Amino acid sequence: MAEFALILPIALLILFGIMQFGFLFASQIGMVNALRETVRYASTSPVSTTAAADFTGANVCDYLLDPGGAMDKMPGYEQGFAGPASVTYNSYADPHQGTTATYSVRLSVYAEYRHLLLVPLVNVILDGLDGASDGRFRLSATEAMRVENPLLLTDPAMTDYVVTC
Written as one string, the DSSP assignment of 126-143 is: HGGGGS--SSEEEEEEEE
Low-confidence ranges of the chain (pLDDT < 50): none
Phi, psi of 82 (to 5 degrees): -70, 135
Res 97: pLDDT: 67
Rounded to the nearest 10°, the torsion over CA 59, 65, 69, 74 is 150
Domain range enclosing 81: 2-164
Whole-prediction pTM = 0.85
Query: What is the number of structural domains in the chain?
Result: 1
Res 145: pLDDT: 94
**Cα–Cα distance for residue pair 124/105, rounded to 1 Å:** 44
